[in-house]
Structure formats: structure tokens, C-alpha cells
């Protein structure tokens, strides 16, 4: 089994065995692939169509090389949440999941947000949080302290996955969605008990859900938003799965039935990084554009529902009030 032999299998759009996938991801994580080979591997997987063998092998390899946070573990009395989209949806929307995570933390829920800089979007979660003054380069001990003090910490993927140094240049050069967009939400080193995960490609929902079940998550909502977005949207119907204690069931979230007006995709887009950060600030102040505020409230409602704070309709009412009030404690780490 050699690297060229496996690349040839992918070139023929044939599936890899568990052993072949494990071998390639281990070679990738240890820097034994050249950038050309790494790019060919990621593009070969996408052209073939990523499957559970590929995704599971990637997750195993990444977690085996990841750093962990000491003393932090989700419990029934202290659930840990993560809100994230896979990215790669090409929509250039504002940083919705980042806003949702900060509102959740402001409400007193523990949020360990795992993310990265923009690769194929206008502004990644890391770019947005950095723009707000939230530190990215935290040690595991500093992240632990942040979770205890602010109920929030950002886990910058390259810092917690040192092996990403071999992958990031390739992903940045490719500039398009790869398997790592799907893997990202599954690689949080804290192992959150609750997750809200948006997937831009509805064909990957079941695959993501199956793999997420293997992480031991207690409750999660994994969905494809209307119009190809990786967020719950107020237009169209959001379809996906609810995961509860090892079970996965289909679900539908229709914002119209929860009292949200039908906005359009164009109303939640930003023009670039500076616009994204400025927009995020206005949303956190409770003064953002109504279509964006409603989108944040809808996704926040999904989080509260997973935390058993009421029906989706009841949680939507709570979320609207929270979002329009703005952050009550201010931006974490500020000052």
C-alpha cells in the first residue's frame, strides 16, 4: 500500500478500505504527504464522494493528535455547547453561529466554540472573534479559565490540532470545500454534550449524523438550511436530524410556524471581513438588521430547545427577547 496506489484508487472514484483511509490520514497528519499529494488526496475524496469510512478515519486521526483542555468535562448539571456550520456553502453570510454562541454564553451556558479562520467564506469565526478582541491563541489552561469565568472560550483549531499545520496551507490554496469542512464540527477537543450543526450540503446530513453519534454527544440538531445555507434560515424549510442519547430521528424546522417572517438570503450577506465584524457588533448590541436578528434568534431557539428550555415555539419567544436586548454582560474578555 503506497500513496500513489491510493491516489490512483481515488482517481478511479473507487472507495477506500478502512486501512487505506487510516493510512492516508495518518500520513497527512504527520506531514508525510507533499502539498501536491495532500491536495490530490482531498480533491480525490471529494470527486469520489466522501463516505463514512473517509470521515471516520479523518476524525480518528485528528483526535489522536489533538490537544485537550484539563479539568473540563460536560456533566448533566453543566452541559457544554458548540454551535457551528460546516462552511463551504458559498453564501458569504454574516457570522450567525458566532453570534449565537456569544448570546448562549451571556445567558450563562458554557460554550466551547471550535473554529478557524475563513477559508472559503467572507469571515471565519476566528476572524470575527479576533475582531471583537477575543483572544485566539489561548493555552488549554487559559481556555479552561475562560470557560469558568466567561462561560465562553474559543478553541482555535490550529492551536488544538497541531497537525493542521500540514493541512491548512493546502486547504487555503484549494479555497473550496473539502472533507475537513465536515470534520470540523466533529473535532471539538472538549467533546461538547450539545451541538447545533449546520451542513451546507443536504446529501451529507446522514453521514454527518452517523459520525456524530460516535462522539458520544448527548443532544444535537444537525440540519441543512433553506437555500443551501449551513444555518437555520427564515426562508424555506430546514431539514435534518435530532440526536438524543444515541438515537437519530428526522426533523423539520419551519421558521414561519415559529412567528418569524420570511426574509431572503440576500438580506443576511456581508461584503467582506470588515463588514462582517461591524455587523456582528451591531447584532450583539441588539441593533442589527432585522433579517439577521431573526436568524440569530431562530438558531438560538434551536440551542435552547436542545437544552430542554421549552418547545421550539417557547424557545423562539425567549430567543427573540434575548437577541433584541443585546449582550447583558458585554463581549467576553473585553476590558
Three-state SS annotation for the chain = CCHHHHHHHHHCCCCCCHHHHHHHHHHHHCCCCCHHHHHHHHHHHHHHCCCHHHHHHHHHHHHHCCCCCCCCCCECCECEEEEEECCCCCCCECCHHHHHHHHHHHCCCEEEEEECCCCCCCCCHHHHHHHCCCCCCCCHHHHHHHHHHHCEEEEEHHHHCHHHHHCHHHHHHHCCCCHHHHHHHHCCCCCCCEEEEECCCHHHHHHHHHHHHCCCCCEEEEEECHHHCCCCCCCCCEEEEEEECCEEEEEEECHHHHCCCCCCHHHHECCCHHHHHHHHHHHHCCCCCHHHHHHHHHHHHHHHHHCCCCCHHHHHHHHHHHHHHCCCCCCCCCC
pLDDT of 251 over the 90 cut: yes
The pTM assigned to this predicted structure is 0.90
Query: Taking residues 238-262, what's their average pLDDT?
Result: 96
User: Average pLDDT for residues 13-42, to the nearest whole number?
Assistant: 96
pLDDT digits (tens, 9 = 90+) for 62-113: 988 999 999 999 999 999 999 998 876 667 899 999 999 999 999 999 999 9
**Confidence class for position 221, pLDDT limits 50, 70, 90:** very high
Arithmetic mean of pLDDT over the chain: 93
pLDDT of residue 183: 86
Phi-psi label, residue 109: left if phi above 0, alpha if psi -120 to 50, beta otherwise: beta
pLDDT mean over 295-321: 98
Q: State pLDDT tens for residues 143-188.
A: 999 999 999 999 998 899 999 899 989 998 998 888 988 888 889 9
3-64 and 80-156+180-325 share one fold: no
In the predicted model, what is the mean pLDDT of residues 289-312?
98
> What is the mean predicted confidence (pLDDT) over 184-212?
90
Residues in binding site: 85, 88-89, 93, 95-98, 113-121, 125, 171, 230-231
List the chain domain ranges.
3-64, 80-156+180-325
Confidence of residue 119 (pLDDT cuts 50, 70, 90): low
**80-156+180-325 adopts what CATH topology?**
Pyrimidine Nucleoside Phosphorylase; Chain A, domain 2 (3.40.1030)
Instruction: Could you list the residues known to form a binding site for anthranilate, using ranges.
Output: 85, 116, 171
pLDDT of the residue at 76: 92
Percent of the chain topping pLDDT 90? 79
Greater model confidence, 246 or 90: 246
In CATH, what class is 3-64? mainly alpha
For residue 87, the model assigns a pLDDT of: 73
Query: Is residue 252 within 8 Å of residue 261, measured between CB atoms?
Result: no
Overall average pLDDT of the 254-258 stretch: 97
Binding residues for 5-phospho-alpha-D-ribose 1-diphosphate: 85, 88-89, 93, 95-98, 113-121, 125
Q: Which residues are annotated as a binding site for Mg(2+)?
A: 97, 230-231
Amino acid at each position: 500500500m503506497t500513496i500513489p496506489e491510493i491516489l490512483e484508487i481515488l482517481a478511479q472514484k473507487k472507495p477506500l478500505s478502512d486501512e487505506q483511509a487510516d493510512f492516508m490520514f495518518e500520513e497527512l497528519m504527520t506531514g508525510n504527504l507533499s502539498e501536491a499529494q495532500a491536495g490530490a488526496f482531498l480533491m480525490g475524496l471529494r470527486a469520489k464522494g466522501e463516505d463514512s469510512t473517509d470521515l471516520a478515519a479523518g476524525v480518528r486521526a485528528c483526535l489522536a493528535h489533538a490537544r485537550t483542555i484539563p479539568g473540563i468535562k460536560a456533566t448533566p448539571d453543566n452541559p457544554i455547547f458548540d454551535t457551528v456550520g460546516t462552511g463551504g456553502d458559498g453564501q458569504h453570510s454574516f457570522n450567525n453561529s458566532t453570534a449565537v454562541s456569544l448570546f448562549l454564553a451571556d445567558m450563562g451556558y458554557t460554550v466551547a466554540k471550535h473554529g478557524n479562520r475563513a477559508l472559503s467564506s467572507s469571515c471565519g469565526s476566528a476572524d470575527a472573534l479576533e475582531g471583537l478582541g477575543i483572544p485566539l491563541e489561548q493555552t488549554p489552561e487559559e481556555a479552561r479559565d475562560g470557560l469558568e469565568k466567561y462561560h465562553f472560550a474559543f478553541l482555535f483549531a490550529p492551536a488544538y490540532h497541531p497537525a493542521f499545520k500540514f493541512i491548512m496551507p493546502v486547504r487555503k490554496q484549494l479555497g473550496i470545500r473539502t472533507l475537513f469542512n465536515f470534520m470540523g464540527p466533529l473535532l471539538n477537543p472538549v467533546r461538547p454534550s450539545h451541538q447545533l450543526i449546520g451542513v451546507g450540503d443536504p446529501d451529507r446530513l446522514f453521514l454527518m449524523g452517523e459520525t456524530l453519534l460516535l462522539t458520544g454527544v448527548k443532544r444535537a440538531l444537525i440540519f441543512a438550511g433553506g437555500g443551501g445555507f449551513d444555518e437555520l434560515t427564515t426562508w424555506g424549510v430546514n431539514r435534518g436530524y435530532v440526536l438524543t442519547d444515541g438515537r437519530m430521528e428526522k426533523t423539520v424546522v419551519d421558521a414561519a410556524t415559529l412567528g418569524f417572517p420570511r426574509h431572503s438570503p440576500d438580506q443576511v450577506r456581508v461584503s467582506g471581513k470588515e463588514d462582517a465584524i461591524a455587523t456582528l457588533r451591531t447584532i450583539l448590541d441588539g441593533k442589527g438588521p432585522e433579517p439577521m436578528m431573526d436568524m440569530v434568534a431562530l438558531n438560538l431557539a434551536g440551542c435552547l430547545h436542545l437544552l430542554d428550555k421549552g418547545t421550539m415555539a417557547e424557545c423562539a419567544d425567549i430567543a427573540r427577547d434575548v437577541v433584541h436586548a443585546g449582550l447583558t454582560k458585554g463581549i467576553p474578555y473585553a476590558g
